[in-house]
Amino acid sequence: MAEAGVVARKAAVAMLDGVLGDGAALSELVGERGPLARLDDPSERARAQRLATQTLRHLGRADRLLKPHLRKSPALTVKNALRLAVVEMHEDGAAPHGVVNAAVAVVRSGKRTGHAAGLVNAVLRKVAEAGADWAKLPPQELPGWLRGRLLSAYGAKGVAAIERAQAAGAPLDLTPKDGDAAALARRLGGVALPTGSVRLAAQGQVSALAGYGEGEWWVQDAAAALPARILAPVPGERVFDLCAAPGGKTLQLAAAGADVTAVDVAPERMARLEENLDRTGLSATLVVADILDWQPEQVPDAILLDAPCSATGTIRRHPELPFIRSAADIKPLVALQAAMLDRTFQMLPVGGRMVYCTCSLLPEEGKRQVTAALARHAGLEIIADMPDLPGVEAGWRTEEGGLRLRPDFWSDLGGMDGFYIAGLRRAN
């Protein structure tokens, strides 16, 4: 096994240690201080990240296959090396001989794990023969605190479908700057989705794709592209994009000709938005501020609020979330969303409209949040005549008038992120 392959796997195991041992998000572990910083080759960095991500998607299945061969649970790093090897052999279809040798080399190279090299070798040689058992294992289950909530909302069949979608991962979706999804799909060999996004099956280096440098498109999940389309700004309208970074919705609003003010509390995320505006040749006014304290100098025609949330709708892209979040995170987020909805209502003029959205699967961050806001504010109403956008199916609409999107929707096309979206208006 080439040394580069061992180094990439060692970095992947270190990323798993960071998620499962320290509660770190993968986005924190790919930075300059993370395990990937030791890898000079971009392809090896990509390989390490893919291996760690894939292992997190199938962690429960790997543990079930390993359990009969372990009398007691080994140290976390050793267990993560075993998990990674199992997933690489049985999910990726890698040759067992090379995977076993690499896993042994990874463990042997650690000061605190070298003694477990023999265990890793013995266990993996047994597990290498269990391909048929792997195929029979169900997708990884969500943690109990989240699964229980989703069972109440969507039932057992719905949750099983969501878990299958999350285990499958996510394709790469793009939003065309000019709105011509069919033309962009032809240029890149992708598929034009019913709602106007473009989907690519292969996920190579994004910046190497045709049109990236020219700013012809940006990466944005098909579900995440819907809130701005529902807000439907017309050229010249003054629109506030609140909690805007990293900026996909800001780019959509600007491309539609709106006069956009994008507000976010995180300077580093706003820097990414500024880079994307420069790349696409679009313009917006950027404000780094907490929207609960921000005092705008102008009155908007419309507002898009993509509120901070549990991000449980994005687990197929961020498989570490079930391992680093807990039930205790939900209540403060729900309170923050309510405060932001109240503040947004204060900013709206009579007749002004807004879209509230979260990338969450939880009803308390979606329809319950909107229902509670309608009860608090006599002048707030749901927009019952929300535009019938191409590709939006009737079954996605909820009883209070919003949209509920789930990862298992469009299963034949590769799914979508989970989102809740509602259009609201300040009435007379």
Q: Which residues are catalytic?
A: 359
Work out whether strand 353-358 and strand 403-405 pair parallel, antiparallel, or are unpaired: unpaired
Angstrom distance (rounded) from CA 212 to CA 196: 18
For residue 150, give the 3-state DSSP assignment.
helix
Nearest to 283 by CA among 253, 313, 244, 324: 253
Backbone angles phi, psi at 301, to 5 degrees: -85, -30
Return the axis-axis angle of helices 42-57 and 3-22, rounded to nearest 10°: 50
Query: How far is C-alpha 84 from the chain's CA centre?
Result: 22
Q: Are the beta carbons of 329 and 377 closer than 8 angstroms?
A: no
- Residue 263 burial (CB < 10 Å; 0-12/13-18/19+)? buried
Query: Which residue type occupies 300?
Result: P
Angstrom distance (rounded) from CA 74 to CA 319: 23
Token representation of residue 47? 């390989």
For residue 197, give the 3-state DSSP assignment.
coil
Angle among Cα 284, 288, 294 to the nearest 5 degrees reads: 100
Q: Are the beta carbons of 375 and 390 closer than 8 angstroms?
A: no
Long-range CB contacts (within 8 A, 24+) of 324-333: 324/19, 324/23, 324/24, 324/25, 325/146, 326/145, 327/145, 327/146, 330/362, 330/364, 330/365, 333/308, 333/309, 333/365
Angle among Cα 284, 289, 291 to the nearest 5 degrees reads: 95
Angstrom distance (rounded) from CA 388 to CA 397: 11
Work out whether strand 198-200 and strand 259-264 pair parallel, antiparallel, or are unpaired: unpaired
